């Protein structure tokens, strides 16, 4: 499917509203408390959000900014450049759908960045950004039998570590 068509579908889905599951999450505070079982090469790691952030690294993992930068440009992984301007000159042109990430660590804490990468819809329900560590049972319109998150917990932590270098 082409990029423009995918973006139109994502915008339509975002306009559809919160949905009952997200509303329940927001009212009970049970964000991210899912059973193990997702992830391409790791078991799904439960996480908890509070105050607009996920304070603790997923699974206690440490991120590597070098790996995170590489993931941010990979089209089959983070592909942050599709929507965000970033200080990665060798990978131009940049997207302009999302906010620029050039100085994102000066604006957001590590925990706030982690929540946005894990599932931005919990911060902005109208976003078209995918939840990269959203539990697969909450995916909408994906291939039947898909049982993994878009990124692993380690990949999330690597991307967060990279974004924290962008001050």
In the chain, where are the structural domains located? Answer: 3-163
Question: Which residues neighbour 95 within 8 Å (Cβ) at sequence distance 6 or greater?
Answer: 81, 82, 83, 84, 85
pLDDT on residue 13: 45
Torsion angle in degrees (nearest 10) through CA of 56, 59, 64, 69: -80
Q: For residues 81 and 36, what is the distance between their CA atoms, to the nearest angstrom?
A: 30
pTM: 0.72
Q: Does the pLDDT at position 146 exceed 70?
A: no
> pLDDT per residue over 54-108, tens digit each?
999 999 999 999 999 999 999 899 899 999 999 988 877 778 899 999 999 999 9
DSSP string, 56-104: SPGGGPPP-HHHHHHHHH-TTTT-GGGT---S-GGGPSPP-SSPP-TTH
What pLDDT band is residue 135 in, cutting at 50, 70 and 90? confident
pLDDT at 140 over 70: no
Alpha-carbon gap, residue 95 to 103, rounded angstroms: 16
CATH topology of domain 3-163: Cytochrome Bc1 Complex; Chain D, domain 2 (1.10.760)
């Amino acid at each position: 499917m082409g990029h423009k068509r995918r973006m139109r579908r994502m915008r339509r889905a975002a306009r559809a509203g919160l949905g009952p599951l997200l509303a329940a999450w927001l009212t009970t505070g049970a964000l991210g408390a899912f059973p193990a079982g997702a992830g391409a090469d790791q078991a799904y790691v439960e996480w908890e959000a509070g105050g607009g952030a996920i304070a603790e690294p997923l699974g206690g993992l440490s991120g590597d900014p070098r790996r995170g930068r590489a993931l941010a440009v990979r089209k089959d992984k983070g592909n942050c450049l599709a929507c965000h301007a970033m200080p990665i000159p060798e990978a131009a042109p940049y997207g302009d759908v999302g906010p620029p990430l050039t100085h994102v660590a000066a604006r957001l804490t590590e925990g706030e960045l982690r929540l946005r990468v894990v599932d931005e819809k919990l911060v902005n329900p109208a976003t078209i950004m995918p939840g990269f560590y959203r539990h697969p049972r909450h995916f909408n319109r994906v291939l039947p039998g898909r049982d993994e998150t878009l990124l692993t917990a380690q990949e999330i932590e690597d991307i967060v570590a990279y974004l924290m270098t962008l001050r």
